[in-house]
Structure 1
Amino acid sequence: MAVVARLRARRVKAGCALVAAAGAALTGCAGAGESGTTAHAAPFTAGGVAVTVRTQPRDGTLRILADLRPERTGFHLYSLSLPNGGIDGIGIPTRIRAEGGLRATGPATTDAKPRVLRPAGLDVGLPVYEDGLVTLELPVRRVEGTDSAKVFLTYGACSETAGCLPPVRDQEVTLHLGSAD
């Protein structure tokens, strides 16, 4: 039995090494062209929301994609459309921006479905997204002379009945882009 367990463990380690090698081969090695640069940041969790950030070429352009998923059922991310100060001072808008090796060429967007959240005990409707994954998309261009970019995320998650999770403001994420030949 112990031999079988060791063989399985080796197989899992070998599989993980193969996945890591494939990820390294795909990360940041396509060159400087807008259509080929791919970079990934380490996933993290902050404010009760699991986050991954990456770049993705699409139709000759480059985009930063940030996947945000509240970890608790019934919690919703505030919308991109929420004003900077919230509504009556309530809520923290979802925001994404880039500095360093990437510059935004347009506003952030998402395909997530919006809805209105009415927190218990408050006479206010707040624009949020439906439960689940919200992917932010920010069109960007590569800036020559630097091989990394900083992405900053601001967001908050709230529930109609269980209150709000701690907001996250300007969470810095570094993307290593590779050389800009």
Structure 2
Amino acid sequence: MNLLRHIRHSRTAALVGAVLLSCAALAACGGQHAEGTAGSAPTTSFTEQGVTVTLSVSDWHASQGTLTAVFTPERKGFHLYSTDLPADGVEGVGRPTAMAVTGSLKAGGRLAASAEVRPITVPGVETPVPVYPDGPVTTTLPVRADGNGDATVLIGYASCSTRDGCTIPVSDRPVHLHVTGDRATFDPH
């Protein structure tokens, strides 16, 4: 009996692992617009100023869910600035990694990032500038629907390299969604 239970548990664990691996592979592929399939989280992506941003909506229940944005610099050695950086940077240097919602979606909390902030010094700037380590950064924002209708996600960021300089900041780049009580889907346009 215990052996049978162990076999069932192993098969379930292997299936869950395969599903998670497939989802990670799909997310890594990116693309201009890649709407989720039935049962998966709606996803879309864009690339602007040297960074690919992949957005998804997950855990959508009772008009609430999580909006996730993965910011991936295209070039090695580039980092993103902290979500806590002031809007105008530090002494004019840098722009915060930002995600806000408007329309029928409201933020249900603060934007959180998966990476640890580290301070760097920039020539000509007295105050250390908070950045994430080079490479991709995942941010999450809890959201709730304020009724059915259209919503807009506004994305902002800047990437920089201590060797190659910075890209032009992206501010309030809109991504459109349609929200109903049982789902939030990205607009294909």
TM-score (norm 1): 0.73
Match of residue 85 from structure 2: 82
Unaligned runs of 5+ in 1: 1-21, 28-37
User: Post-superposition, which runs of at least 4 consecutive aligned residues in structure 1 deviate over 3 A?
Assistant: 58-61, 119-124
Match of residue 156 from structure 2: 154
- Look up the equivalent residue of 2:59 and give its one-letter code: P
1:59/1:130 Cα in 2 relative to 1: closer, same or farther (>3 Å)?
farther
Query: What's the offset of the Cα at 1:142?
Result: 1.3
Percent of matched pairs sharing the same residue: 39
Distance in 2, matches of 1:66 and 1:175, equals: 14
Distance in 1, matches of 2:103 and 2:42, equals: 14
Query: What's the offset of the Cα at 1:93?
Result: 1.1
Match of residue 138 from structure 2: 135
Match of residue 55 from structure 1: 57
66-75 or 115-124, which deviates more = 115-124
Query: What's the offset of the Cα at 1:99?
Result: 1.2
| Contact residue 52 and residue 74 of structure 2 kept, 8 A | yes
| Aligned-residue RMSD, C-alpha | 2.5
Match of residue 23 from structure 1: 36
| Contact residue 78 and residue 160 of structure 2 kept, 8 A | yes
Secondary structure of the residue that 1:26 maps to in structure 2?
coil
Match of residue 180 from structure 1: 181
Unaligned runs of 5+ in 2: 1-34, 183-189
Query: What's the offset of the Cα at 1:23?
Result: 3.2
- Look up the equivalent residue of 1:154 and give its one-letter code: G
Distance in 1, matches of 2:99 and 2:112, equals: 10
Q: Deviations over 1:95-115 (max 9, x none)?
A: 110112311011101121211
Distance in 2, matches of 1:102 and 1:119, equals: 37
Distance in 1, matches of 2:47 and 2:181, equals: 30
- Look up the equivalent residue of 2:144 and give its one-letter code: R
93-102 or 51-60, which deviates more = 51-60
1:95 aligns with 2:108: no
1:23/1:90 Cα in 2 relative to 1: closer, same or farther (>3 Å)?
closer
5 Å-filtered alignment, 1:9-20, equals none
Distance in 2, matches of 1:51 and 1:26, equals: 22
Query: What's the offset of the Cα at 1:121?
Result: 5.8
| Contact residue 40 and residue 176 of structure 1 kept, 8 A | no
Match of residue 40 from structure 1: 43
Query: What's the offset of the Cα at 1:122?
Result: 4.8
- Look up the equivalent residue of 2:151 and give its one-letter code: A
Q: Deviations over 1:107-154 (max 9, x none)?
A: 1011212112223565442111012211111111012131x3210011
| Contact residue 36 and residue 43 of structure 2 kept, 8 A | no
Distance in 1, matches of 2:131 and 2:89, equals: 11
TM-score (norm 2): 0.70
